[in-house]
Amino acid sequence: MKKTAIALAVGLGGFATLTQAAPKDNTWYIGDKVGWSQYHDVGFYGNGYPDIISNGLASKNKSGAGVFLGYQTKQYFGLEVGYDWLGRMPYKENMNHAVFKAKGIELAAKFNHLIVDNLEVYTRLGGMFWRADSKGSHARIPRLKNNDTGFAPLAGVGLEYTITKNIRTRLDYQFISNIGDASTVGARPDNTMLSLGIAYYFGQNNVSSPAMFVQAPIFGPKRVTLKSKVLFDFNTSALKAEGKQSLEELYTQLTSMHHKDDSIIALGYTDAVGSDNYNNKLSGKRAESVADFLIFKGVPAKKISAHGMGKANPSSRSNCSYKSGHATKAQIKCLAPDRRVEIKIKGINDVTTQAQD
């Protein structure tokens, strides 16, 4: 039970720090893993298995392996299903002989957090539907052979490194509590497995539709303008799916510049509707949303900053007949160019992305 508590604490501790991950939303991936599996609390004590069998030397450290299928619903959250072989553990000493082996189907939620470029830490929390088999013999008892199935909690932590857009490798440590039932298979050990795995993420080379951009080039004195309602819904700072795809396109073009020493500034703007205090906060949150997205895609956090500019520097140039108070639908539509996030890159001609409602 102590190991269970420790594993869950580690898992929940990782969950508390989750913010980001790099794959695209709604992405499938597959992978496999191999490593070292170790059983704990391996004594026999039930269903006719005398504890004298356990006096034999148990080979606790065995080879383990598995395959998994995952679905990345968000860039910081995914779901995985997998099959794990946890190893065959023999006991041998004089006339005492026994074997315990286990395998299972695991289901887990996976939470990622980017720590440095291309390297993430993650937590997996879930459970395993296991099957355990045991057999044993001793001079004073007949040969015993049994199997059982059940469910056990699972917790895991690991590091994941991006090799290419589609390929990632991971170092994973998982803990599974109480595999088996002493009343059927004679024992109920815990299991830990340290493994090295590799995964292939589908669709990572896809780019957003060119129709989303009025002008695509970002080199020279060009402006990239996103069509209406691409980044945010009206009066919110949460990035829409279309906005994330467009920012991925922007990130791809930014990385192609190879200006690693340049800094990036995200400037958020609102229209004139609402109070100065509210607009300053909203524009700041929008700029932070864009900056956070570029950070988890790979832009170093120390190279990018976000600032809210409120209703400053309107693009509509006061052509919307709006003065103050409540705005009509026509005025809100007219003021759309004012609601934007500008990306400025030090050392390169300014690039602007506009989010219009």
Q: In this predicted model, what pLDDT tens digit does every residue of 246-301 receive, in sequence order?
A: 888 878 877 766 555 567 888 888 888 888 888 888 888 888 888 888 888 888 88
Q: Rounded distance, CA 35 to CA 65, Å?
A: 6
Q: Rounded distance, CA 55 to CA 93, Å?
A: 8
- Which residues is 352 bridged to in the sheet? 342
pLDDT of residue 205: 64
In the chain, which residue ranges form alpha helices assigned H by DSSP?
2-16, 182-185, 241-255, 276-297, 329-334
pLDDT of residue 121: 95
pLDDT of residue 137: 72
pLDDT of residue 128: 96
pLDDT of residue 177: 92
pLDDT of residue 225: 53
Task: Report which of 251, 288, 10 is spatially closest to residue 123, judged by C-alpha positions.
Answer: 10
pLDDT of residue 47: 66
pLDDT of residue 110: 96
Residue 259 burial (10 A CB sphere; 0-12, 13-18, 19+): middle
pLDDT of residue 104: 96
- Token duo for residue 94: 């004089």
Q: Rounded distance, CA 235 to CA 169, Å?
A: 40
Residues of the chain with pLDDT below 50 are: 1-21, 94-95, 206-223, 228, 349-357
DSSP letter (8 states) at residue 230: S
Task: Report which of 124, 177, 128 is spatially closest to residue 155, judged by C-alpha positions.
Answer: 124
Residues 71 and 28: beta-carbon distance below 8 Å: yes
Taking the chain, what is the end-to-end CA distance rounded to the nearest angstrom?
54
Torsion sign across C-alpha atoms 195, 174, 57, 92? negative
pLDDT of residue 69: 97
Q: Rounded distance, CA 311 to CA 278, Å?
A: 10
pLDDT of residue 260: 52
